[in-house]
Chains A and B, each alone.
Chain A
Amino acid sequence: MGSILELRAMRRLLRPAILIAAFILLAFVLQAKEGSPSNLAPLIQIKSGEASDNFLRAERPRNLSVPIDNGPHYGYQTEWWYFTGNLSDEKGRHFGYQLTFFRRALSPNPIDRDSSFATDQIFFAHFAITDIEKEKHEEVERFSRGVDFLAGAKGEPFQVWLEDWTLEALNDEGSNLHLRAQSDELALDLDLQSKKSVVAHGERGLSLKGSEPGNASYYLSYTRLETRGEISVGGKTYAVNGESWFDHEWSTSSLGEFAVGWDWFGLQLSDGRELMLYIIRNRDGSIDRVSAGTLVEPDGNIVALGLGDFEVQVLEYWESTLTGAVYPNAWKVFVRDYNIELTLTPWLQDQEMNISFIYWEGAVKINGQSNGREVFGNGYVELTGYADSLQSGF
């Protein structure tokens, strides 16, 4: 059962909105890659679309409960299940991984159809492994229509699948999960066991995104999952163990007018604390006031953080040779009220997701202090809006 977050930093949580908008473009851009040049739109005349405003909206806090709320929430337009983690083999060789399943509804009013190919849902997934020793980051993505025999999600038993990439619960509570994915270059087969109960961010999981009711998302996390299994990269398979982070969000919302992107941090410290922060960057270079975070104490207690409660300083930048995008590449993070002062360094500079939507999602190494003690740890950082502009699509 999820714990409840105090209303303390009730800021708007924009991350879902931007992600949605960003990934809208993704398949679109993919087509550009596969096809030929990238300017596709002028070639086709489209009948003007109608706005679909009839999805459910995240309007008030709900009593979210797992495992049922691990599953899909079809009334909302967008949803994702986001896994990141830092793993190492017995020789200490370090790996990072990301496996994310996205769901996007095409219509709020599904109609009964006869064809089993008929759908009003689209699923897509991103899969990446960072091999630190080889200094390699490989990524791959997939799309599918949401029809049971290809892709879908279920609450009981909890499972999400996109063809043979799968996420499934191994126990009734949904705290023990199994992840599987493989492509030509990459593979992963992992068992995840949560060490803490689920975290509901914002107010009982409702993360507001604006003053208007309904401009919000529901956001749950398992912030520390003990992970073991196998990964394959560079033609070799490694037995690994380590820790993962699982975010689950669903919403029906649109991107803030002035936002260009966000920086998200999911940090696991050696003293048993976890810290989630996100920063919404506006077009004018300012940080949006909705930026917020959550601190999870070793005992599972959680603290909501507002923009005033934390500070993130960028120490270094890195320019992608492939895309020319310039990303922050080292940070100092302060949560002064809770005696946290951390330095984040990427395990590998180039962890750019060069797929239909370009962003940076990478494993980071943590050093610093927490509650006056030396801590270390690992985490994941997501940086969007540095390469691709955010544009509206699905």
Chain B
Amino acid sequence: MRRALLKTSYRMLLRRPLQSFLMLLGVALGVAVFIAIDVANQSARRSFELSTEALIGRATHQVRGGPTGIAEDLYRELRVELGFRKSAPVVEGLAVAVDFEDHILQILGIDPFAEASFRSYLNEVPYFQAGFEAFYTDPSSVIVSEAFALRNDLKPGDFLRLQVNQRFETMTILALLAPREGELTAALDNILLMDIAAAQELTGSLGRLSRIDLILEKDEIADLEQHLPSGVRLQVASEQASAAAQLTSAFELNLSALSLLTLAVGMFMIYNSMMFSVVQRRTSLGILRTLGVTPNQILGMIMFEAGIIGAIGSILGIILGLRLGQGAIQLVSQTINDLYYVVNVRETAITLAVLAKAFALGIFGSLLAGMIPALEAARVEPVSALRRSDLEQRVRVLIPGLSRAGIVLFVISAILMTVFPRWLALNFAALFLMILGIAFLVPRSVIMFMRMAQRPMSFMFGIHGRLAVRAVVMGLSRTSVAIAAFTISLAVTIGVSVMISSFRSTVGNWLETTLQADLYVTAPLGGGTRLIAPLAPEIADVFEAIEGVQLVETFLSVAIASPSGPVQLSVVDVKRTRDPSIFRKSNLSPERIWDRVLEGSVIVTEPFAYHFEIQPTGDQVTLFTDRGERSFPVVGIYFDYSSDRGAILMSDQTYRQFWDDPSISSLSIYIGEGEQVEVVAGRIRASIQGRGLLVQENRTIREQALAIFDRTFAVTNALRILTIVIAFIGVLSSLLALILERGRAQATIQALGMAPKGLIKTMLLESGLMGATAGILAWPAGILMSIMLIYVINQRSFGWTMDMQLGPTPFYQALVVGILAAMIAAIYPIILLLRQSVAESLRQE
């Protein structure tokens, strides 16, 4: 019996290939987007972890210092005097391969004699073979990865031009590093392996080490810590990687949530199609019941169908998603590079877990969507198969309940957001509940909307207009689901657009108030998340002497260790007062704030204050300085959109007092009254020729910042478009269902004399009306979503405040897209309908 039922299901799915295909497509696209994003996130994270792990090697601990590292003498003390022989000095830095699209290479300076216990892959280099003396004796010797060499057509003996800090150096490739373990290939891709002495010379860090790697037994830890000078810390090596990986978690969660949304829209489609197939099969289901099939068996049968669709759709989705993943990796890793850390994704991290998760989601989503249709099917009475109008009747009865449920969902959503402001995942759950709530309100809204549309439609399109309105209402059980799915995807579009444009304009304004100087001088590395190459502090004096320069301010951005992990420190030599509007929160007047900052207090960025729950009233931040652990009072919170990690701002004076680091990372130059920016910029460029410094105008920096901003939202945009695509397929499939189902009615109307032209018109109008309904319903829903995104999701993910900017564009766009997409979706069903001859349709009667 059961087998017979399952056969019925199969046949059902096969007999309506188009319907089945569209359902599959819905699941597949949803799963594909989810998996693409997941794979991109995981790949970026995995690459980062791998390269971090690769660099850490087997070290259990690391000795680290402030921004300038640690004195090399400490290494001698630890190794020779205290006998910590499982120790290896490391000098790190960044270099730009100027001949290869400014590719960034990571300098890894090691002492091969101390390495043996640490990084096994480095031991594959024959440091002690004849011919390898140059590794030690020739400071221009470098080893690059085989992958890098292959890409750039380099071989041992070739020259490699580098820019490091402000210098250009020509290095010689001594050998290629080809790690035996495959997964290291990606991790070591950008490595520039050098002897430690050469690395010190190249990076200009004479006498300093970036860190000392150690393999320590438990009982050695305390002993070692005791011998560390102040400002030098012992860290558990693995913490380094995990701390960095956490940076991106909010970003990843946001992407994942958005990708789930596409799956949710796909679920609407499945629901719709399943419901249709149930209604279609009413008669045969009734017959099955008379044959003794129990309601539970019917339920199982429909769920089985949903499961099949889910399974096949998921598999297709996984295949598609892995393809999409390649593109997503590009977008995601670009953003991570822009905002978080340098990561070089060369391999796609496709784990069984990722696949299983996507597959399970696809099936679960399909089953969930198929549940109501299945329950509906199980209600079919033997013989007396209900008529469709009964169903519609019931839907009509259900509407008040649905609307109430929608309101309840809103309330739950609001409660979740209020009660768990810091539990990001729950806030996303709240967002989903709200979306579901919107969907529940759609049927009620459709009826209201149709009531309002009746007159104008009739007025504009006559009988066709009236018929179209009636058709929408009559098929409410179907149309409302399609409209709901469409509404949600359009609302997402509006919400995301409003959020992005609000964000963009906020950032634009902020750049305007922050970038007050006329010219900025940086080393070319100093962008995004890259380690900022330090400049020699004397250069400020050079610039001040240039004709037309009025004022030079120095700036340093540096990562500082703190008890709660590394934090970004902005060190400013404030000579000009800042726009008071940069302060978000403080008990003091802006002038007082600057005074206090000069006295040794700090101000923190908004994201920083959010993440560390800091109030500018008596709270302090603790940092590891070169003088040991020190706390600094926070006197204000300021707007800053440069990093979602947040930053602490302190005065130049305070910084130099607690850290032995004279370096600066950029200079802000104010030019004199009446001087021309281009002219002064020209003089400055002439004065620093050959140093590899960038002199940029205010405007250029602003444009670059916004370019990075736009890149950041490229993924979001891509996802938004995919959501619309899925919704479009949803509308197409529901129209198809409606039209096929209405075949007889249409035939009757046709037989009564309506010309095909009229039929087409009615159909297009009906479809357009649905699109318009969705487009307009999407307005309030979109505003609601943008509020959620701006004031809840973004704020709670990253800690940013932004001013909501409501422009008309996304709204009319949604309407136009809604109407057009719906009408386009109607084309194929209409063609299908016209092909059915009137006689044939009626004969079936």
Contact = CB atoms under 8 A, between A and B. Distances in A.
Contacts, number: 139
A111 B137 contact: yes
A34 interface: yes
A47 interface: yes
Is chain A's interface secondary structure helix, strand, loop, or mixed overall?
A: loop
Contacts of A31: 116, 123-124, 126-128
A114 interface: yes
A102 B226 CA distance: 34
A24 B126 CA distance: 12
Contacts of B126: 28, 31, 40-41, 44, 46
Nearest to B123: A35
Interface string B198-216: 1011000011000000000
A48 B136 CA distance: 15
B172 interface: yes
A163 B134 CA distance: 24
B139 A47 contact: no
A394 B177 CA distance: 20
A120 B136 contact: yes
Interface string B142-183: 000010000000011100000000000000111111101000
B129 A41 contact: yes
B837 interface: no
The interface centre, meaning the residue of A117, A119, A122 with most chain B CB atoms within 10 A of its CB, is A117
A326 interface: no
Contact of A149 (B76, B127, B139, B196): B76
Contacts of B618: none
B80 interface: yes
A166 to B, nearest CB: 10
B157 A143 contact: no
B76 A44 contact: no
A47 B155 CA distance: 8
B1 interface: no
Interface string B83-99: 10100010000000000
A18 B134 CA distance: 23
Interface string A138-174: 0000011100011000000000000110000000000
B129 A393 contact: yes
B622 interface: no
B89 to A, nearest CB: 8
A36 B120 contact: yes
Nearest to B131: A49
Given A35-B120, A118-B201, A150 B76 contact: yes
Contacts of A122: 113, 136
Contacts of A144: 113
Interface residues on B, range: 35 or more
Contacts of A149: 73, 76, 80
A111 B139 CA distance: 10
B541 to A, nearest CB: 24
A27 interface: yes
Nearest to B149: A45
Interface residues on A, range: 35 or more
Contact of B157 (A27, A47, A116, A392): A47
B136 to A, nearest CB: 5
A117 B174 CA distance: 19
Contacts of B113: 27, 122, 143-145
Contact of B137 (A40, A46, A120): A120
Given A117-B111, A394-B129, A45 B200 contact: no
A52 interface: yes
B132 interface: yes
A44 B197 contact: no
Given A45-B176, A149-B73, A117 B200 contact: yes
A43 interface: yes
Given A116-B206, A149-B80, A24 B130 contact: yes
A27 B129 CA distance: 9
B124 A43 contact: yes
Contacts of B79: 150, 163
Interface in B67-88: 72-73, 76, 79-81, 83, 85
A44 B130 contact: no
Interface in B670-695: none
A7 interface: no
B133 interface: yes
Contact of A49 (B72, B89, B133, B178): B133
B337 interface: no
Contacts of A110: 137
A287 interface: no
A390 B785 CA distance: 76
A116 B201 CA distance: 10
B175 A118 contact: no
A104 B197 CA distance: 18
B189 to A, nearest CB: 16
A115 interface: yes
Interface in B99-115: 111, 113
Contacts of A119: 136, 197
Interface string A359-394: 000000000000000000000000000000000111
B136 A106 contact: yes
B125 interface: yes
A159 to B, nearest CB: 14
A106 B157 CA distance: 19
The interface centre, meaning the residue of B113, B128, B196, B198 with most chain A CB atoms within 10 A of its CB, is B128
Interface in B200-247: 200-201, 206-207
B111 A106 contact: no
Contact of A116 (B139, B178, B207): B207
Contact of B180 (A43, A107, A113, A143): A43
B130 A394 contact: yes
A228 B301 CA distance: 94
B514 interface: no
Contacts of A27: 113, 127-128
A40 to B, nearest CB: 6
Contacts of B157: 47-48
The interface centre, meaning the residue of B134, B146, B207 with most chain A CB atoms within 10 A of its CB, is B134
B454 interface: no
B620 interface: no
A115 B136 contact: no
A347 to B, nearest CB: 30
B174 A47 contact: yes
The interface centre, meaning the residue of B113, B139, B178, B200 with most chain A CB atoms within 10 A of its CB, is B113
Nearest to B209: A117
A246 B366 CA distance: 84
Nearest to B116: A34
Contacts of A24: 128, 130
B129 A34 contact: no
B256 interface: no
Contacts of B201: 113-115, 118
Contacts of B117: 34
A315 interface: no
Interface string A13-36: 000000000001111101100111
A234 to B, nearest CB: 20
Given A46-B132, A48-B156, A116-B207, 4 more contacts: A34-B123, A40-B126, A47-B174, A149-B76
Interface of A: 24-28, 30-31, 34-36, 40-41, 43-49, 52, 106-107, 110-111, 113-120, 122, 143-145, 149-150, 163-164, 392-394
19 contacts: A24-B128, A26-B128, A27-B113, A44-B126, A44-B175, A44-B178, A45-B155, A45-B176, A46-B132, A47-B131, A48-B157, A116-B72, A116-B206, A117-B197, A122-B113, A145-B111, A145-B113, A145-B136, A164-B81
Interface of B: 72-73, 76, 79-81, 83, 85, 89, 111, 113, 116-117, 120, 123-134, 136-137, 139, 146, 155-157, 172-178, 180, 195-198, 200-201, 206-207
The 9 closest A-B pairs by CB, nearest first: A49-B131, A118-B197, A27-B128, A117-B197, A47-B156, A115-B197, A35-B123, A106-B133, A107-B137
